[in-house]
Every structure is written in C-alpha cells, then in structure tokens.
Amino acid sequence: MSSDVESLLQDLQDPDSNIRQVATEALWRRWYTQKGAYGAQILVRSQTLFDKGEAAEAEALLTETVEGMPDFAEAWNRRAVLYYMQKRFWPAIADCEKALNLVPYHFGALHGIGLCHASLGNHMAAIQAFRRALKVQPYATINERLILECTAKLS
C-alpha cells in the first residue's frame, strides 16, 4: 500500500469531518480513475445506462470490463451495486468480495456486503461487515445505525 493511501486511511480516522470528507472523496476518485480516464468513463457510462432503465446494458458493460480488466476493483464494486439494486444479493456479495480482494480497505464494498446480508436476513453477517467498514471509517454513522438495526432484529 502506498504512503499516500495510508495517509488517506489515517485521515478517515480524524475527528475533523472536513479532513475525513477530503480523504473519502480522494479514495473514491482514486478507485474510479484506477484505469485512467477510459476506466472512469466506463463507470460513468454504466451508471448512465442504469439510470435510464437499461440495466441489462449496464451489466453487460460492467461484465465486459471486469473480464477485460479483472484488477479494476471499482468495476467489480459498481456491478455489485447494480446487482444490489436488482435485489440479486448473492452475486452482489461475490462482486464486493472481488473488490475487497483487490482493495481490502474499500469501505463501499464492505458496506455493500452488510447491506446485502441485511436484506437477506443474515443479520450476524451484516453486523460483521458493517463492523469491518467501521474499522476503515469509524465516523460513518450509517454503519453504526445499521448495526443497531440488525442487532434489534436478532432479539
């Protein structure tokens, strides 16, 4: 892991919300632009297709992308988001895991795994995923809230 990534991850732990926001945006930008402008354009195009109701086309584009660039973590994560939106939770989890194999601190993929498990009623697995996400982003109160929601459903 490069020293600039380590610095950004440290900044996610900072009490100052502005520092955390800058670090969060920098990490997303890094993930989106991992494959340069070309890769970023693919991700934007897939989102545009999905937003226009062309989910099959968006999925085909992302599938082609992860097959051609299997080390492009954000392409895996974007396809996971698409699957989640379609309530295809197990394929979404699998794609989040692929993203995490490439970028173990990908808080979006960790959060996504939690959302999928929560949707499936796997509350313990969801709690574990949200806790992993909190280790990377301890001030992400959404994960704390989701942990409480899942905990309540266990009792």
55 occurs within a structural domain: yes
For residue 21, give its domain range.
1-32
My answer on whether 42 and 27 are in the same domain is no
Residue given tokens 């509350």 in the structure block: 123
My answer on whether 109 and 153 are in the same domain is yes
Q: What is d(CA 81, CA 95) in angstroms, rounded to the nearest whole number? A: 9
Query: Whole-number mean pLDDT of the chain?
Result: 97
For 105-154, how does the pLDDT look when each residue is reduced to its tens digit (9 = 90+)?
999 999 999 999 999 999 999 999 999 999 999 999 999 999 999 999 99
Q: Tell me, what's the pLDDT at 45?
A: 98
98 occurs within a structural domain: no
For residue 63, which of 34, 42, 48 has the smallest C-alpha distance? 42
My answer on whether 24 and 44 are in the same domain is no
| DSSP assignment of 75-88 | HHHHHHHHHHHTT-
- Residues 119, 88: contact at Cβ < 8 Å? no
120 occurs within a structural domain: yes
Q: Tell me, what's the pLDDT at 1?
A: 74
